Amino acid sequence: MESRRPPDGGYGWVVVASAFFTVGLTTAVLKNFGLFFLDIQNHFGVPLSTTSWVTSTTIAMFHLGGPVASALTLQFSQRVVIMVGGLLTTSGMVLASLDLSLPWLYLSMGILQGLGISFSWIPANSMVSHYFVRWRPIAYAIASSGECVFAVMFSPFFQWLIEAYTWQGALLIIGGLQLNLCVCGALMRPLETTQSPAQETKDCLEGDDATLPPKRKTIFQCSLLTKPELFLYILFAIFAAAGFFIPPLFLVPFANSLGMDKYWPASILSVLALADLVGRLICGWIANVRLLRNLQLLTMVTTLLGVVLLLLPISHNYWVILVFASLYGFLFGCVVAIHVTSIVDIVGLEGFDSGLGLFMMFRSIGGFIGPPAAGWLVDQTKDYSTAFYLSGLCLITSAVFVVVVDSLLQKRKAVEAEVHQAINKPEDWEPGKVKPKTYRLFTTCSNSWYRTSPHGSRRFPSHFYSEAHLLLLKLLKNVSAALKSALHNFLKTLKVSSAAGCFVELLQKTSLNHMQGPQDSHPNETVQKPN
């Protein structure tokens, strides 16, 4: 049978191209929602804060829909869920173009569009991870770069659509473009789920749970939250998201507060987007070369990103701000390129879909808290620098959680390596390590039909199996003898107790008859009490 192991190429690059367009038609569209703000505000005559709830609702549904998208992916397939997401995004834009009311936009552009983006973005990233192992970092970097490329292209294109066809017509045309998500989903060919017995055994023992053959999980694994590594990584996501969403909102106002012309800050955002693209590709390549572990690289770039944001407020002219914005965009792209693929290192490929859904859901907390908290600080201090200080501190704090996660994973791998050495090389076992005999009996008995070590295809020595079988039979024989002896003693005690009970009952009856005999022979005689 065909193996389920990722092909690491071939049709996988078609999947990467499809994911590239999927990301571009979802998150890049969301990034340019701000172009519609003023037109919607003037059309309905409402405050800008009321209009901003359209984008806030979309972002909320994008993140909160993560577990639902992951569960549907596990139940059906990435292809089906992406195509459903394409229909939802198109429906949201087409219904929004009807221009019925502002709450109608909350429902269409907010809820439907947000769910559609979630149903398309999450399975697309999942598919890339399932198709690649060796080239996974660079493949994901290429796929995620669609957000940067399409964001740069969509900005002038959407502006032209609004001027030519009004914002209602622009939404209708954008909805038609997003219908191409169904084509992208159709290209997501699922991997074969059947495996040869040998390959199934090898995949089982190379995973985290190396005891039983793997089964296809068709439900969302909320139990992954019990893994301390994933829980800490979710805390990283919350703090990192709080820092991520602050700079794009306050960078232009900060530049304007320094007296710069209004066109210069707009060019800063363009440079930031290009630096983001370069950062994703370069960091994906570095992660693929494996000079550092993914979590080590993530810790380094996240810390540097926090330091850059802490230093950004010291700049007081356009060129210095441009340099810091470029560094921010580059490092932000580096973080985005590897922070999702690192989930595979924590929960494995089998738990990636559920782990990504949980990651996205809890990340929304940081996105909701970060910008309002930064806005409150700016209102209190009348200084935009405080927003960047908060963002930098959040990112540095998030890097601390990544350090702890990496430490826990390395300790777990060290224990697995120690156990592997105890099983395969008992002569090299040293005091203080896992005792080979104790572990050998457990592991060999539970995996005796595999004949494969937990860390590769190396076979266990044959004497391990004979020794384990003899020990197991001896153990069962001793247990059986002990149960037989206990049962015999219990029955013996029960018989003795029964015989003793019968003898005591007989004595009681005899004594009672002896005492009642004279009274029965003289029933009418009364006994007189002595005076």
For the stretch 498-528, pLDDT in tens is 555 565 565 556 555 555 554 444 444 444 4
Confidence class for position 87, pLDDT limits 50, 70, 90: very high
> With 0-12 CB in 10 A as exposed, 13-18 as middle and 19+ as buried, what is 269?
middle
- The Cα–Cα gap between 466 and 483 comes to 26
pLDDT the model gives residue 211: 38
Q: State how far the alpha carbon of 175 is from the alpha carbons of 96, 157, 166, 321, in Å.
A: 9, 14, 14, 36
Nearest to 377 by CA among 367, 306, 385: 385
- The Cα–Cα gap between 180 and 185 comes to 9
Max alpha carbon distance in the chain (Å)?
133
pLDDT the model gives residue 176: 94
pLDDT the model gives residue 48: 60
**Helix, strand, coil fractions of the chain, as percent rounded to 5:** 80, 0, 20
3-class DSSP state for residue 100? coil
The architecture CATH gives domain 1-190: Up-down Bundle (1.20)
One-letter amino acid at 414 equals: A
Scan for tokens 């399975």, then name that residue.
123
- The Cα–Cα gap between 180 and 519 comes to 110
Confidence class for position 398, pLDDT limits 50, 70, 90: very high
Whether residue 393 contacts residue 309, with contact meaning beta carbons closer than 8 Å, is answered with no
Please compute, for residue 31, the number of CA atoms within 13 A of its CA located in the half-sphere on the CB side.
22
Number of H helices, E strands in the chain: 22, 0
> With 0-12 CB in 10 A as exposed, 13-18 as middle and 19+ as buried, what is 256?
middle
pLDDT the model gives residue 442: 37
Tokens of 369: 């808290």
pLDDT the model gives residue 223: 75
Whether residue 385 contacts residue 253, with contact meaning beta carbons closer than 8 Å, is answered with no
Whether residue 359 contacts residue 345, with contact meaning beta carbons closer than 8 Å, is answered with no
Tokens of 447: 């995996």
pLDDT digits (tens, 9 = 90+) for 431-447: 444 444 434 333 333 33
Residue 345 has pLDDT above 60, yes or no: yes
DSSP string, 168-206: HHHHHHHHHHHTTHHHHHHT-PPPP----HHHHHHHHHH
With 0.75 as the threshold, say if the pTM is over it.
no
Q: Averaged over 79-95, what is the pLDDT? A: 94
- The Cα–Cα gap between 286 and 341 comes to 13
Whether residue 144 contacts residue 280, with contact meaning beta carbons closer than 8 Å, is answered with yes
At residue 35, φ and ψ (nearest 5 deg) are -65, -20
Percentage above 70 pLDDT, the chain: 71
Percentage above 90 pLDDT, the chain: 20
- The Cα–Cα gap between 105 and 102 comes to 5
Q: Averaged over 43-61, what is the pLDDT? A: 78
3-class DSSP state for residue 218? coil
Q: Distance between terminal CA atoms of the chain?
A: 110
| CATH class name, domain 221-419 | mainly alpha
Q: State how far the alpha carbon of 267 is from the alpha carbons of 161, 247, 286, 330, in Å.
A: 21, 15, 29, 16
Confidence class for position 207, pLDDT limits 50, 70, 90: very low
- Give the highest mean pLDDT range of 6-10, 209-213, 501-505, 517-521: 6-10
pLDDT the model gives residue 86: 94
Confidence class for position 193, pLDDT limits 50, 70, 90: low
Residue 305 has pLDDT above 60, yes or no: yes
Q: Averaged over 212-238, what is the pLDDT? A: 73
pLDDT the model gives residue 56: 76
Please compute, for residue 444, the number of CA atoms within 13 A of its CA located in the half-sphere on the CB side.
23
Q: Averaged over 249-276, what is the pLDDT? A: 74
Confidence class for position 310, pLDDT limits 50, 70, 90: very high
Instruction: List all residues 6 or more positions away from 358 whose beta carbon is below 8 Å from its beta carbon.
Output: 66, 67, 70, 222, 224, 225, 230, 234
The four Cα atoms 368, 371, 372, 376 give a dihedral, to 10 degrees, of 160
Residue 302 has pLDDT above 90, yes or no: yes
Residue 456 has pLDDT above 80, yes or no: no
Tell me how many degrees the CA angle 420-425-431 measures, rounded to the nearest 5.
85
| Cβ burial 306-319 (10 Å sphere, 16+ → b, else e) | bebbbebbebeebe
- Provide the mean pLDDT of the chain: 76
Whether residue 194 contacts residue 2, with contact meaning beta carbons closer than 8 Å, is answered with yes
3-class DSSP state for residue 523? coil
Nearest to 405 by CA among 456, 353, 339: 339
pLDDT the model gives residue 500: 54
- The Cα–Cα gap between 289 and 310 comes to 30
Q: Which of 108-122, 298-312, 348-362 has the least mean pLDDT?
A: 348-362
Q: CATH 1.20.1250.20 residue ranges in the chain?
A: 1-190, 221-419
Residue 40 has pLDDT above 80, yes or no: yes
Q: State how far the alpha carbon of 303 is from the alpha carbons of 248, 261, 343, 393, in Å.
A: 18, 32, 19, 9
Confidence class for position 96, pLDDT limits 50, 70, 90: very high
Whether residue 171 contacts residue 313, with contact meaning beta carbons closer than 8 Å, is answered with no
Residue 450 has pLDDT above 50, yes or no: no
Q: Averaged over 148-153, what is the pLDDT? A: 85
CB count in 10 Å sphere of residue 289: 10
pLDDT the model gives residue 208: 42
Residue 373 has pLDDT above 80, yes or no: yes
Whether residue 157 contacts residue 24, with contact meaning beta carbons closer than 8 Å, is answered with no
CA 357 to centroid of chain Cα atoms: 5
Nearest to 143 by CA among 13, 8, 282, 285: 13
pLDDT the model gives residue 236: 93
Instruction: List all residues 6 or more positions away from 529 whose beta carbon is below 8 Å from its beta carbon.
Output: none
More confident residue, 319 or 430: 319
Total residues found in the chain within this entry:
531
Residue 422 has pLDDT above 70, yes or no: no
Nearest to 206 by CA among 312, 402, 349, 23: 349
CB count in 10 Å sphere of residue 479: 10
- The Cα–Cα gap between 87 and 248 comes to 30
- The Cα–Cα gap between 284 and 342 comes to 12
